[in-house]
Amino acid sequence: MSANIELRQLRYFVTVAEELHFGRAAKRLHMTQPPLSQTILALEDLLGASLFDRNRRGVALTPAGEALLPEARRLLAQAQELSGVVKRAATGASGRLSLAFVSSADYSVLPPSLRAYRAVYPHVQIQLQEATSDLQLEELLHGRIDAGLLIPPLPEKAKAELDYMPVLNEPLILASPANLPELHGQHMVSLRTLPPLPLIIFPRAISPGLYDAVLSVFRAAGMTPVIGQEAIQMQTIVSLVSAGMGIALVPQSVSNLRRPGVEYRPLAQSTPLVETGLAWRRDNASPVLRGFLELMRKRL
């Protein structure tokens, strides 16, 4: 279709096609008949085909007019929808949100946050990516994701470009192989009462905040753990515990991850709180991100 055709011409054409009478169509369009007839003639000239048979008995669509009518209606409907599309995009009600998350968030803040967000913004496409905190920081700094649920701290080089909002603080608990005699009948356990099993832990390079928090619990108990395995996913850590490879200290919400052969217990001694927070680029002006941040703030 020629780029010179105007939506006004298509609207006039559809009205005449529906009325099959130029006088009634002009009245419906709140105009006089001569300019309506001139507009239709100009449209026919642009298309190089007659759209209406005009005779004494009245007006009828030609085969070309019959072919144009559904297409004209479709284009007019799409044009009418444009304002809604633009408004939704401008207000963050449509578009795409790319969100990364550490594995522990999958058992705590992520599911309820996504449910709440989807309820308010059903037309936003959410792209999820599980990633460790260090990888999320790289993705954020390079602008490849909108936001990340990660475990702080943020390195100094990132603080200049990123904003951060805490969303969850939770204690560490013990994940132990099942059926240890020391666990029987105990709601809470002390690290000192456990057999000398190896510790399964995140590598410090991946999550220094979590690594340091875990070791601080052992130091406070006057103990030095033997690190048996390192793993970068909570699922892997818990699976290694279920295989009897050792014990782990994990954020409390990880107890929602059930594995045969694993028991969770609160620790008798106080533990530092492990924080999960949301980070995003300070210069990201995405309306979709803005809507997500507003919703997260309301949930705090």
Same domain, yes or no: 98 and 44: no
| Final residue in a domain of this structure, among 68, 90, 112 | 90
Report if residue 2 sits inside a domain: no
Q: What are phi and psi of 52, to 5 degrees?
A: -135, 140
Query: Which comes out higher in pLDDT, residue 44 or 1?
Result: 44
Res 60 pLDDT > 60: yes
| Final residue in a domain of this structure, among 74, 90, 106 | 90
Helices 287-299, 63-91: axis angle to 10 degrees equals: 50
d(CA 290, CA 296): 10
The alpha carbon dihedral of 10, 15, 21, 27 has a sign of negative
Res 240 pLDDT > 50: yes
pLDDT, residue 52, reads: 94
pLDDT, residue 85, reads: 66
Q: Which of 1-5, 134-138, 199-203, 224-228 has the lowest mean pLDDT?
A: 1-5
Q: Name every residue whose Cβ is closer than 8 Å to that of residue 37 and which is 6 or more positions away in sequence.
A: 22
Report if residue 135 sits inside a domain: yes
Same domain, yes or no: 190 and 238: yes
pLDDT, residue 1, reads: 45
Q: How many domains does the chain have?
A: 3
Query: Which comes out higher in pLDDT, residue 93 or 96?
Result: 96
Report if residue 115 sits inside a domain: yes
The confidence band for 190, taking pLDDT boundaries of 50, 70 and 90, is very high
The confidence band for 2, taking pLDDT boundaries of 50, 70 and 90, is very low
Same domain, yes or no: 191 and 255: yes
pLDDT, residue 121, reads: 93
d(CA 258, CA 235): 10
Res 92 pLDDT > 70: no
Full domain range(s) for residue 258 = 172-272
Report if residue 1 sits inside a domain: no
Q: What is the pTM of this model?
A: 0.71
Is the bond into 251 cis (omega within 30 degrees of 0)? Answer: no
Same domain, yes or no: 161 and 131: yes
Residues shown for the chain: 300
Query: What is the distance between the terminal CA atoms of the chain, rounded to a whole angstrom?
Result: 53
The confidence band for 88, taking pLDDT boundaries of 50, 70 and 90, is low
Same domain, yes or no: 80 and 123: no
Closest CA to 135 of 121, 118, 119, 149: 149
Same domain, yes or no: 267 and 279: no
Same domain, yes or no: 183 and 216: yes
Same domain, yes or no: 247 and 132: no
CATH code where residue 231 lies: 3.40.190.10
% residues pLDDT > 70 (the chain): 96
Res 188 pLDDT > 70: yes
Report if residue 239 sits inside a domain: yes
Encode 152-162: b = buried (16+ Cβ within 10 Å), e = exposed: bebeeebeebb
| Final residue in a domain of this structure, among 66, 90, 114 | 90
CATH code where residue 33 lies: 1.10.10.10
